[in-house]
Structures are given as structure tokens and as C-alpha cells.
Amino acid sequence: MARAVSLQRRPVGLLLALLASIALLAQPSAAIASVTRRGKYLYQGNDRFYIKGVAYQEAAPIAESTAANDDNGGFPEPDSFTDPLALPDACTRDVANFRDLGINTVRVYSVNSSLNHDACMSSFSNAGIYVILDLALPLNGSINRAQPSWDVGLLDLYASTIDVFSRYDNLLAVNIANEVVTQPSNANAAPFIKAAVRDIKAYLRSKNSNVLVSYSSTDGPSGVNQWRDMLAYYLTCGSADTSVDLYGLNSYSWCGNSSYTASGYNTLTSDFSSLPVPAYLAEFGCVENVGTNNRPWTEVAALFSAPMTDTFSGGVAFSYFPQDTGPDYGLVSVSGNTVNTRSDWQALKREFANTSAPTSAPSGSSSSPAYAACRGNTNNFPASTVLPPTPNAQLCNCVESNAFSCALNPATFNSPSIIGTLTGQACTYLSEQGGSCAAILADGESGTYGDYSFCTSAQRLEWAMSQYNVVTNFNADSCSFSGNASVKVPPQPMASAINDAFSTCLAQNPVGVSTPTPHAGPATVNSTVSASTAAPSQTGSGSGSGSGSGGGNSNSASASFQGGKGLATAMTLGGAVVAAWSML
């Protein structure tokens, strides 16, 4: 009580000054200079900016792999994650190490947008540390290479994270996906990545944000006609609206005391030299043997000097935290709340300190290089240059409310694996009745996308069940699917009314490309999220296999969806149009 009285007796001017100081402390600090992109280079002011970073996410337990994951070039995927930017004490502990290491960037693979990140982002900003933030999450929060889609669920998830992080001054880039395309057979996922880039860039513009949009690829065979290089040029072709702003490559080709030539860095630099955007190594740091931590980091000298700097703008060393199994990429060891640096640390610190990268662009380089025409559909890169439309939640909700005759039971609605299996069954049954699931299918190789292919997996299943219910004359049993769904109450009146509802919904909510309007509030994703357990998981030395988290995992629900390309007969009800949307 005495303290309250004393405060009331302070001079008004002093009290106002105190309140103003408190208000300023509550705001995100403006402690860090902005980084911009001009042509194919990054700049801080008038000097080139190089990403000198480290991957920052604890390792997580590995989810059990599926046949779809193994068959589609998938890597081991974590089944949970720790949000490292929601742990203020850990951030305070680690930022001192970041200063010692001499880095300016951390790459974070998974965050929970519902948690508070102010303290960590502020402490990093005050230390001059930028953040490259992956938007995807493990399990069902990423573009699935086995059954790729760009849908309203992913859009909502990505937008929710952007809504939280775009206000921080040290958010350098948001990463659309990590290692989705891993071989020619899953290059059909590339149109969905590019559509996500297009829509997220439009969403950022609508928020007046200059945050860069990036993608991180796994390494692959060198050559302009090989999938690695074709993917890089595909994701940077066409126009600024559909191109990434920053292209990352996870490369572990330089092991030990290799060389610019022996590591393949020379061909990598040459292969990427015509990219119209900045490139960087989104992960590097080969571990040759299980459990070793004696990397010499000699690749750093090559990465931060010409001729590599003519093409690349730095890189991210992998990784700050240790791994429990397989090759251990950790630069530190952790015991409780105590972190100790390993021998790798001093070597990397020394190499970073000795860099002296050029501060200006090479003479003759253009400040606005042209975007090349897009090419695809080759044997090594079977991806269409036609992109899927912007996910339209209003359309999906309209048809769900007005045109579906079947509704999932709550337990099934929250079970991704059951949804995937049932969708395949429903599409098979519908095909046997002369119908088709074309309206909910998306094919990145042919460039055909059904009008409802971007709806949630639950909505796509309800669509298929409802179509089957209609063609079986509204037999109540045809909605059941072993008790996983039931007839909506009140029931839909007749097929003609359902068709009218589909037509009205499409007329009111046309399918196409537009600035996204995601749902308000946090997205719901079937991932186990923790503020104190773990995240990315790595296996395989010198390849980057499974690196990071939230990549194009094939362990999710839709991997079980086998209703696909064989069901391309003409639609009889609801959504006859299968639309194609040009990327240019």
C-alpha cells in the first residue's frame, strides 16, 4: 500500500516517462537492420549479405515409416517437435553461444503458432540473429510427396504461423517446404510447392510484409537435365509472383578435407549460376562416421569466397543440437539445462571468423535478372507447368453445408489414417457405380485439378461418400462405411437439389487464383506439439537424408488414399469441371 501511495506522489512528468518506457519495452525491438533481395543477391544496406547460420531445433523421435513413404523416396520423419522459439530461458542460454560462433542466422524447422515467441525473437534480434522459419509441421502439416496437394488446411496452418511471426523484424524468410521432391518419380509434387509459393507470397503482400519466401531441396544428380537442377529452375521460373525469393539446397557432398572440385561444389555453382534469385546451402556439414564430432568445416572457406559467392549467399551449418541415434550432427551436447560445445564448434567458429566474402555483386551482374520460361514434363522431371488453384475454404464450406448428404462421425473426423483408407474405398465404390472422384483429385503431372481437390481431407471424404450415397438412391447404409459416417440431419432432399447446391456454391465462390483468405485463428494440425520435447531427425552421412522436419512426408493420411488416377471417368454429380490454372 505504501508503494502505491509513493508512486502517486511522483511528479506527473516522471510518471508519464516511466509508463512510456514500459510501453516501449513491451513492443518488439527494432534492433536489427533489414535484409533485402535485389536480383540474385541479398543485401544489408548497400553491402551483400551472406547467411552465416546454424540449424536450431532439437531432434525428435522418428515416426514409423509407411510403404508409401518408402516407395516415394521419403526420408525418416519425426513424429513430434519442440518449438525452440517458445523457450525463453533456452534462447537466452543459446544466444550467447551464437555470438561466440559468429553466426547471423538460425534455421528453425517447426513452431507452434499458438505459443508466445516474443522473448526468443527479441533476444535473437538484439544479438543480430535472423530467422529462416519453415512453415510445415511433421506428419500431416506438410505437402505429402506420395499424394501431394495444396489445400485449405495447409494454407490455414501456414497463414497462422505468418500471422504470428511476420511482425518480428528479424524474420528473414519463411520456407514453404523441405525436401519434398527427392527423385523423378515424385516431381509431380512440384506444382503444389509452386502454388504454395504463389499464394503465400500473395498473402504476405496483403499484410505489407517483405519477408522472403523460400524452398529447401535435397541434393541430387548434377546436370541441367537432372531433377535437382530442373526443380531449382522450375521453382524460380515464370514471374516474380510464382518464383521463390530464396532457393536453398541441403548438401552434404563436402566431407572432411575435400576440395571445391572433389566435392562437386564446382558443378553445383555452375549448375545454379543462372538462377534469378539468391541461393544458399540450407544445410551443410557432412558427418562421415556414426557418433563423430570432429568435422574440420573446410567447406566454409569455399562457400564464402569466389567463385562460389558469384552464385551462393552463404549457408546453414547442421546442426546445433545433437542426435540420439545415427550420425550425430550436433555442435553441442546437452545435459539438463546445460549446453557444452564440442570440438566441431571451435573448428566452425574458426572457419566462420576467417571468411571475407565479397561485399558487392560481381561486375556485369544484373540487379533484376529475367525469369526464364517454365519447362517440365520430362522423363527426369514429370511436373506440369500448370499449377493448382488457390485453396478456397469458402467453396469447401459451402458445399459441405449445402450439398453433402453424408457426415463423418467425430472420431473419424480426427483420424487421418482412417480418412485416407475410407477415401480410397469410397472412390472405388463410386467408380463401380459409374461415377468418379475426379472432382477431389489433383494430378501435378498432367496439370489437372478437381474443383474440390483443395478441400480438407475430411471434406474430400465426405464428398466421395455423399456422391456414393446419391448414386445408390440415398440408401442410408451407403453413408455408414462401417459406422464411420452417417446421413446428415436433416437429410438432403433429392439429387437435383444437390446439383443445384453445387452449382450455386461454385458460382458464388469461383475456383481460380486469388489472394488467400484463410480462416481466422490457429489451424488444427494432426501433429504432436511440445514446448519441451524434440524435433528434426537425421539419418545418413553425407546425403542430408531425412534432415530437418516437416518435409514432404509420405507417412500422413492421404498416403493411404488409393482412389487416384484410375478413376478418371466423367463426373455424374457435383463438380463436373476439372480445372487447370496456368502459372503465368
- Residues annotated as part of the active site: 179, 283
β pairing state of 130-134 and 105-108: parallel
Per-residue DSSP letter, 363: T
Instruction: Report the chain's terminal Cα–Cα distance, integer Å.
Output: 68
Contacts of 526 (CB under 8 A, 6+ apart): 139, 140, 141, 414, 416, 556, 557
**Phi and psi, residue 153, nearest 5°:** -65, -45
Report yes or no: 71 and 133 within 8 Å, Cβ to Cβ.
no
Side chain identity at residue 21, one-letter code: S
Reduce the DSSP state of residue 282 to 3 states and report it: strand
- If you search the block for the grid coordinates 483443395, which residue do you land on? 454
Q: What is the 3-state secondary structure (H, E, C) of 221-258?
A: CCCCCCHHHHHHHHCCCCCCCCCCCEEEEECCCCCCCC
Contacts of 352 (CB under 8 A, 6+ apart): 52, 101, 102, 103, 300
Contacts of 517 (CB under 8 A, 6+ apart): 393, 394
DSSP β-bridge partners for residue 332: 341
Q: Is residue 203 packed enough to be buried (19+ CB in 10 Å), middle (13-18) or exposed (0-12)?
A: buried
* Cα angle value 464/528/217 (rounded, 5°): 80
Q: Using CA atoms, how far apart are residues 161 and 250, in angstroms rounded to an integer? A: 23
Question: Where do the H-state alpha helices sit in 65-151?
Answer: 67-71, 88-101, 118-126
Per-residue DSSP letter, 133: E
Q: Using CA atoms, how far apart are residues 459 and 482, in angstroms rounded to an integer? A: 18
* HSE toward the beta carbon, residue 43, CA cutoff 13 A: 12
Residue 155, C-alpha cell as written in the block: 494454407
Cα dihedral value 7, 8, 13, 16, nearest 10? 70
- If you search the block for the grid coordinates 572432411, which residue do you land on? 256
